[in-house]
Amino acid sequence: MPGSRTRRNPWWFLGAAVIFSLGSPLAGTAFAGPAVPAPAYAPPDSATLETAVLSGGCFWGMQGVYEHVKGVVHAYAGYTGGSAATAAYEAVSTGLTGHAESVRIVFNPQIVSYGEILHIYFAVATDPTELNYQGPDSGTQYRSEIWYGSAAQEETARRYMAQLTAAHVFPAPIVVRLAPAGAFYQAETYHQDFLVRHPDYPYIVINDLPKVRALQTLFPALYRVTPVTVLPLN
């Protein structure tokens, strides 16, 4: 694999996975699903593009999920929360830069709403109850955080988290942070489209492909078979 990662054994829950049918789209992973509908969010009538920045663990899986969502124009893997001087993989991996591995999603709000982007985030893209880690990945760089770009995005996210909490969708408290969007720095080229380009990589097979299958199963109307990628795949 290109580059090193600060993570525990990538086979960390293989024992748990065997209790599921390996043919199941949700094998080995628990998903909240669409238990609480997507929050209402109305973009400006003239809006043709909108941006969402989300952190929720390794950016390979986050990017891979949203590249399969209809209406997404681009989903970039990158870093946010720290300075330009430390926006590099080896530095971010120390957990000392303030950065979180993130995805910057540019989407057409006439096709997929910001509310639906959040619905997917909480349902399949991340576990919002894990503080400063996701699955086998530990450190503040793997925290779950919503970086809102407007007052409307902030209010939508706050309201939706309150709804999820009131509905007891998760067995533990939601620990997702909210912060105003700052500078986003694209990750190194070898990280872009990693799930699409390396579908057989063990970490991807165990941790991230189940998320894409869950997207297809739980959100069939929003699922696109052919992903939109940052890099050409020919």
Q: Which residue has the tokens 């870093």?
A: 79
Q: Where are the beta strands (DSSP E) in the chain?
A: 50-56, 72-80, 100-107, 133-134, 137-138, 144-148, 177-180, 184-186
d(CA 10, CA 33): 24
212 neighbors 97 (Cβ within 8 angstroms): no
125 neighbors 36 (Cβ within 8 angstroms): no
Reading the block at residue 141, the tokens are 């760089």
d(CA 127, CA 124): 8
Residue 58 is among the residues annotated as catalytic for this protein: yes
DSSP state of 223: B
From the list 52, 54, 58, 195, the catalytic residue is 58
Closest CA to 8 of 113, 102, 136: 136
Beta pairing class for 72-80 and 50-56: unpaired
Backbone angles phi and psi of 76, in degrees to 5: -100, 135
Instruction: State the catalytic residues.
Output: 58
